[in-house]
């Protein structure tokens, strides 16, 4: 499994924690952004073009590739 984050201009770096899918066929992976640097807070996050949220805490994720956008507001 892998996580791909593309930074187009925006934050210089981020710190995250991730819990991979424990068993084949499970949909219980999780992903959380702990810190962002290079842009001024507050931040908003959008996963796969969805609604902008104030916290990047995603659970019950199935295996796959995700697009996470980060902006300062």
Is the pTM higher than 0.75?
no
- How confident is the model over 8-55, as pLDDT tens digits? 555 555 555 555 656 667 777 788 887 887 777 888 999 989 999 998
Question: Which segments of 1-73 are extended strands (E)?
Answer: 13-19, 29-37, 43-47, 57-61, 68-72
What does DSSP say about strands 57-61 and 29-37: parallel, antiparallel, or unpaired?
Answer: antiparallel
Q: What is the pLDDT of residue 27?
A: 76
Assess whether pLDDT exceeds 60 at residue 2. Answer: no
Cα-based angle 37, 60, 47 (whole degrees, multiple of 5): 40
What does DSSP say about strands 68-72 and 13-19: parallel, antiparallel, or unpaired?
Answer: unpaired
């Amino acid at each position: 499994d892998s996580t791909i984050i593309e930074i187009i201009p925006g934050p210089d770096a981020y710190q995250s924690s991730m819990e991979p899918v424990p068993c084949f066929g499970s949909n219980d992976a999780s992903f959380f952004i702990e810190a962002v640097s290079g842009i001024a807070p507050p931040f908003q996050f959008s996963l796969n073009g969805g609604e902008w949220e104030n916290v990047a805490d995603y659970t019950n994720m199935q295996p796959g590739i995700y697009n996470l956008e980060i902006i300062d507001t």
